Amino acid sequence: MPHGSNKLYLANVNPNQHDTLVCLPTLNEEASIAYMITAVQYEGLPLVVCDGFSTDNTKKIAEQMGVMVINRKALGKGSAVQKAIEYALSEDYIFLAFIDCDGTYMPHDLRVVLEQRHSMDMVAGKRPFEKITLLRRMANYVMNHWFNYLFKARIHDVVSGMRVIRLAKFKGRVTAEDFDVDHQLAAIAVASSMRIQEIPIHYQKRLGNSKIRLKHLFMILRAMWRDSRHLKK
């Protein structure tokens, strides 16, 4: 089993899940962090929090609950993904799972997502779009169609905040530093003809304040174009 500094938590890990590390990327998530940690712990999964300079009690709560907190180099979610990949590889994990820490994704859905990991290179949760607010649903519609047009793919939820990746396939390949990282993971997988599966999951109202703004939509669309030029099948 990979070793880690969050020994309080590792004592409760399900031995069938020892090859997979779960990462919660955080930035001022004190409203949801305790709930998310408790829910992931219930699933018996190794867990690390990758924080982006939170100014609230996010880090304190996580550490008090016995979970290791690693600091990323920059504020963006992509920076958290890069740091988590680096850390998971150093700890000899085979798979790395990400789940947004805002409470919209339910950790018990990791069960069905992780069931497919050994036969896939990336497994992503597919949200029920009717549960997403109208404006965000429209934004997701635009992003999905633009991505599939550029990459000639059929991905249903390209920016899902719940996914598991096979670390060896993504080592050294993730360059996105912000919210464009979700689509970039999908882009790397599609461009490299990796084995991809999407699994229907639940989705609910977030806890705390959203950090996504309209500017991020245009940034992601531009980044999709950039990645479609640089990533080749």
Cα separation, 116 vs 189, in Å, equals 16
| pLDDT, position 8 | 42
| pLDDT, position 214 | 64
Identify the structural domains of the chain with CATH numbers, from first to last: 7-230 (3.90.550.10)
Each residue of 63-116: pLDDT tens digit?
Answer: 999 999 999 888 889 999 999 999 999 999 999 999 999 889 999 999 999 999
Strand order in the sheet with 162-166: 68-71, 47-51, 20-26, 95-99, 162-166, 122-126, 196-200
pLDDT at position 9 over 50: no
| pLDDT, position 5 | 47
* pLDDT top residue among 163 and 133: 163
| pLDDT, position 208 | 62
Give the pTM.
Answer: 0.90
Query: For residues 122 and 163, is the Cβ–Cβ distance under 8 A?
Result: yes
Each residue of 139-191: pLDDT tens digit?
Answer: 999 999 999 999 999 999 999 999 999 999 999 999 999 999 999 999 999 99
Residue 196: phi and psi, rounded to 5, are: -125, 140
